[in-house]
């Protein structure tokens, strides 16, 4: 298999823009065909890699017979390891599992990475992760990595053959290529964009190879972000992440949950739309125009957040690639 950094380098050398996308594991109780049904229509666009998200635990409270509430831990979307292995086996395309700080100890993380290494999966996306739904603020695991930079450092330790058990003899080195997240409109918890870029640089200096951005709907936000990153001394590739708007509810949900602005022109088109189907088409057309402008600017990869559905991503890819 190939490192994502090498896929990016090949695209830059060929002066082309590659297509990639991110999928969600199916909800517990569904099978792998749910994934294949959404990947199959996108394979004609020859993605060099596919990201697979990882989901931390959630807490639910069930009432017991005595009337008291019992806290239960659930994982609603398990299966990242198996899905990545299945993707590489079925499609001969590199899978990029997400690795999180939140909800995992360093031991959990090391075991997860060992499994990836055994399966020949050589690319990972290192993320801090979000707060659980029952908490207002993110809380790191007591025995886990606090920030994505710490997670990158742990992965690099494994690449150097350094495991948590210092007594291991002749330990094998892994060879992971690491991606990290960037935020053109800053992370919602960051005090400023400049401070956010400062910490992005730290992640890259720790050993990460490339950046994939949070979604944005105004390309100028991306261009400005890249310019500021370059001015700060960041030289590694910054891949734009795109998501087509699909419902009117997202006009409020996306700014609230992700701290991402929606341009007035897009808002007004959605507000005037007669139904959800019309809104979905508006989102597709807006994303096509974004994609074509970014492609013309020479980005090596366009990365799409599919959210488990491929029909709108396929329409966009068919118009762009």
pLDDT score at 166: 84
pLDDT of residue 117: 96
Which pLDDT score, from 0 to 100, does residue 9 have? 98
Query: In terms of pTM, does the model score above 0.85?
Result: yes
Nearest to 88 by CA among 51, 45, 53, 56: 51
pLDDT (tens digit per residue) in 277-305: 999 999 999 999 999 999 999 999 999 99
Statement: residue 30 has pLDDT above 70: yes
Report how far residue 156's alpha carbon sits from residue 146's, in angstroms, rounded to the nearest whole number.
16
pLDDT cut 90: percent of the chain above it: 79
> What ranges make up the beta strands (E) of the chain?
18-23, 49-52, 58-63, 69-74, 94-100, 123-127, 177-182, 210-215, 238-242, 301-305
Residue 72 pLDDT exceeds 80: no
Q: Residue 121 above 70 pLDDT?
A: yes
For residue 133, pLDDT beyond 80: no
Q: How far is CA 181 from CA 129, 131, 192, 210, in A?
A: 10, 16, 16, 9
Please give the torsion angle defined by the CA atoms of residues 82, 303, 211 and 155, in that order, rounded to the nearest 10 degrees. Answer: 10
Mean pLDDT of the chain: 92
On whether the CB atoms of residues 209 and 202 are closer than 8 A, the answer is no
DSSP lists the bridge partners of residue 177 as 123
Q: Are 24 and 307 in contact (CB under 8 A)?
A: yes
| 219-222-228-233 Cα dihedral, nearest 10 degrees | -140
Render pLDDT for 209-262 as a digit per residue (tens, 0 to 9).
Answer: 999 999 999 999 999 999 999 999 999 999 999 999 999 999 999 999 899 999
Beta-bridge partner residues of 303: 20, 241
Band (73; pLDDT cuts 50, 70, 90)? low
**pLDDT at position 114 over 70:** yes
Span 137-191, pLDDT tens digits: 788 888 999 999 999 999 999 999 999 998 888 889 999 999 999 999 999 899 9
Question: What is the pLDDT, as a whole number, of residue 28?
Answer: 80
Q: What are phi and psi of 190, to 5 degrees?
A: -75, 140
**How far apart, in whole angstroms, are the C-alpha atoms of residue 96 and residue 49?**
7
According to the model, what pLDDT value does residue 78 have?
75
**CA dist list (Å): 172 to 42, 61, 96, 161, 162:** 36, 43, 21, 5, 9
pLDDT value of residue 75: 65
pLDDT at 59 over 80: no
Q: pLDDT category, 58, cuts 50, 70, 90?
A: low
| Phi, psi angles (nearest 5°) of residue 172 | -75, 145
Q: How confident is the model at residue 22 (pLDDT cuts 50, 70, 90)?
A: very high
Longest distance between any two alpha carbons in the chain, whole Å: 67
Give yes or no for residue 92 having a pLDDT over 60. yes
pLDDT grade for 102, boundaries at 50, 70 and 90: confident
Packed helices 311-320 and 276-296: angle between N→C axes, nearest 10 degrees:
40
- pLDDT category at 76 given cuts 50, 70, 90 is low
* 126 has pLDDT over 70: yes
* DSSP label at residue 25: P
Residues sharing a CB contact under 8 Å with residue 145, sequence separation 6 or more, in sequence order: 101, 104, 106, 109, 151, 154
For residue 44, what pLDDT is reported? 97
Q: What pLDDT score does 177 carry?
A: 98
């Amino acid at each position: 298999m190939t490192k994502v950094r090498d896929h990016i380098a090949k695209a830059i050398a060929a002066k082309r823009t590659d297509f990639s996308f991110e999928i969600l594991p199916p909800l517990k109780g569904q099978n792998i065909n749910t994934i294949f049904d959404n990947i199959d229509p996108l394979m004609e666009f020859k993605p060099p890699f596919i990201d697979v998200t990882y989901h931390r635990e959630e807490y639910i409270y069930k009432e017991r017979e005595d009337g008291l509430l019992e806290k239960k831990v659930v994982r609603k979307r398990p299966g990242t390891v198996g899905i990545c292995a299945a993707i590489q086996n079925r499609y001969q395309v590199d899978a990029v599992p997400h690795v999180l700080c939140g909800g995992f100890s360093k031991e959990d993380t090391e075991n997860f990475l060992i499994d990836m290494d055994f399966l020949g999966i050589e690319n990972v996306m290192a993320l801090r992760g979000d707060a659980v739904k029952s908490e207002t603020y993110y809380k790191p695991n007591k025995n886990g990595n606090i920030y994505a930079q710490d997670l990158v450092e742990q992965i690099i330790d494994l690449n150097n053959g350094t495991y948590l058990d210092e007594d291991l003899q002749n330990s094998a080195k892994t060879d992971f290529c690491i991606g990290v997240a960037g935020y053109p409109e800053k992370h919602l918890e960051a005090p400023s964009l400049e401070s956010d870029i400062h910490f992005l640089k730290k992640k890259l200096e720790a050993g990460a190879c490339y950046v994939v951005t949070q979604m944005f709907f105004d390309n100028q936000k991306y261009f400005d972000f890249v310019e500021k990153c370059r001015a700060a001394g960041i030289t590694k590739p910054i891949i734009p992440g795109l998501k087509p708007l699909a419902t009117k509810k997202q006009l409020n949900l996306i700014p609230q949950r992700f701290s991402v602005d929606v341009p007035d022109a897009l808002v007004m088109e959605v507000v005037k739309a007669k139904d959800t189907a019309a809104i979905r088409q508006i989102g597709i057309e807006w994303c096509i125009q974004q994609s074509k402008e970014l492609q013309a600017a020479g980005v090596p990869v366009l990365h799409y957040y599919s959210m488990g559905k491929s029909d709108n991503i396929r329409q966009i890819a068919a118009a762009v690639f």
